[in-house]
Amino acid sequence: MSLLEFEDVSKVCRTGARERVALRNVSFRLEAGEHVTVWGERHSGRSTLLRIAAGVEKAGEGIVRFQGRDLNGRDAEQLRSHIGYCRKTFRQDGGRYVLDQLVTGQLMRGGSAASARSRVLAALERSGVLRCARHRPADLDSSEAARVVIARALAHQPKLLIIDEPTLGVNLLERDSILSLLHSLAREGIAVLTSAGDASCLAGADRALSMSDGELVGKHEPGELAAIVPLRRSAAR
């Protein structure tokens, strides 16, 4: 049984009288401890796919299963508690500092303040940003912010971590270290689902799913990724 499974998932987005097909008959599986990156241009459907995988949006057609159960079924809330969706914004009422923000998020799920603080500090350390605990969210640079939102999700001890474009806005020197962090989390048993608009951001992924106009148009295995990434990097120089 796969950790996450999409079966013929489609989604139509409506803005007023206009309709756009965001996903069309997408099927794939993600296993525990696997790092998969959804790769495509803007408006290819990759972000919609991630939101549906996290349970943030519902599929229009098809079915999404998490641990073999319908992610939008009767036990949807319980299933979603095992998915860490990395939102890149912070609550205005969540506290002044990063530590306050993350502890508040933990307390909203129940438990003691002491255990919440302990989980948050461990997650910040694992993500390499323990030094940022007393920083204000607005003072974080792009790399620190990416790691903090990963830490916020990790504090919930998820089985699946989902983050849309984890290296967006991050400088080249820091980008590879964030991708390495995600790869190491997958090796520890946490499934990781990310998106990318550039092939150079596929480093560390076990597989890449290529998206175009809402359709899954290709699947790249580790051997193929090893060839794609250097070629795209050298072309960018």
- Is residue 55 over pLDDT 80? yes
Q: Is 223 exposed, middle or buried (0-12, 13-18, 19+ CB in 10 A)?
A: exposed
Q: What is the pLDDT of residue 227?
A: 56
State how many domains the chain has. 1
Q: Is residue 19 part of a domain?
A: no
Q: What is the pLDDT of residue 153?
A: 96
Q: Report residue 173's pLDDT band, with 50, 70 and 90 as the boundaries.
A: confident
Q: Is 78 helix (H, G, I), strand (E, B) or coil?
A: helix
Dist CA 77 CA 66 (whole Å): 12
Q: Report residue 235's pLDDT band, with 50, 70 and 90 as the boundaries.
A: very low
Q: What is the pLDDT of residue 232?
A: 42
Q: Is residue 25 part of a domain?
A: no
Q: What is the pLDDT of residue 224?
A: 64
Dist CA 102 CA 96 (whole Å): 11
- Is residue 67 over pLDDT 50? yes
In DSSP notation, 82-139 reads TEEE--S---TTS-SSHHHHHHHHHHTT-S-HHHHHHHHHHHHHHTT-GGGTTS-GGG
Q: What is the pLDDT of residue 226?
A: 55
Dist CA 188 CA 163 (whole Å): 17
pLDDT tens string 78-115: 999 999 999 989 988 788 999 999 999 999 888 899 99
**Domain span holding position 152:** 90-157
Q: Is residue 151 part of a domain?
A: yes
Across 61-69, average pLDDT: 96
Structure tokens at 97: 């500092």
Contact between 118 and 154 under an 8 Å Cβ cutoff? The reply is no
Q: Is residue 231 part of a domain?
A: no
Q: Is residue 103 part of a domain?
A: yes
Q: Report residue 198's pLDDT band, with 50, 70 and 90 as the boundaries.
A: confident
Q: Is residue 12 part of a domain?
A: no
Percent of the chain at pLDDT > 70 equals 93
**Residues paired with residue 70 on neighbouring β-strands, in sequence order:** 65
Across 14-27, average pLDDT: 88
